[in-house]
Structure 1
């Protein structure tokens, strides 16, 4: 009886300790990706929430109605693409996910042939893909991404880089080529609508395209550094049209 009582007491203490550990465990680390390439605010709040704006252009083969905002990192295949860390030189990593390579391969974001095919149909799971971004030389674009627990005070604020290819590429640039044409650096922690769940804070940044762009298609890369030699990318295409 004494042993039984001690066993019950020990089990109770173990369970209680486990519960305490669970309640004190910080948010699980998650990884980000570009959610929208052409975000447009519907009012003066400049909020990245779906209640205060809408997306008019997406990353390649982005399933527009697959899951709620910020939940595609747990999709199959997951949306985020972590470039390979097998090489000390991060410039050798694949710039846009092919769904096969990388530390975490992510979804297929290879250049469509024709380029419009990545936006005018369905992804590999049969889900409708989002529209391509339509813009003009010197036009403003606003890109959105989920915070994924990394916009809090104790996280280092690593910038997001936005890079462009040359006009009408037949294949995606290498990572080095993209980095030779960075057109903007954005504040990763520029988030709004901050509730208690730091995973789903909507964040984003706006920038202007070069005014000397010629009409045509351009590949665009969103790239974010989380830790040392740990990079995440999302790729999209933009259709630059002549100014009216």
Structure 2
């Protein structure tokens, strides 16, 4: 997922560049003098950088959210299918799912542990403990895997308002500078910078709110998936004790 995310960010940066060029062209043609086009056209390097960062944050949030949602939906479906079976049939179905790091990994870990339980190992550690340790490690690994990507959304949710606030402060600074240069607080001198500040605030909140809500929702669904993994792991454990792998 990390490699896909890096590729996505590079692609989005290219698209953002094209959007920026389009915005400048639109502003030159006489669009809203206080809109986002004007913000990009009149803003300095700092304002444009803040805007690009917020756009990348927003795109990253939606990308991670959609990818995780599809993954969770698929895993929940697999889990419900597995819970319809038990014993050897459950072991076979779990291995056949081939999801690498969740149900299949738990099943393979338990089966391999049962196969390894012989000789001196069997004399020192009972089958129940040995299989339970292997399955528990696999479940912990599944939990770590399910958390991947969520740190990105959590970071965006907590930092986006401050990035937007920085853009707000920068816009107010420009407004004060314009007042100082003009010697009077005329509306035409401060409207642009103040509008820039308000837009940055709005964009920061528009990025942060979906990130926070999405993070909480994805964490809740992750718990549902992991609860299902634990139930499947318990049934696999019981099945391996009843009929150890040969």
Band of TM-score, shorter chain: under 0.3
TM-score (norm: length of structure 1): 0.22
TM-score (norm: length of structure 2): 0.21
- Identify, as 1 or 2, the structure richer in strand: 1
- Larger RCO (alpha carbons 8 Å, 6+ apart): 2
Between structure 1 and structure 2, the one with the greater Rg is 2
- Identify, as 1 or 2, the structure richer in helix: 2
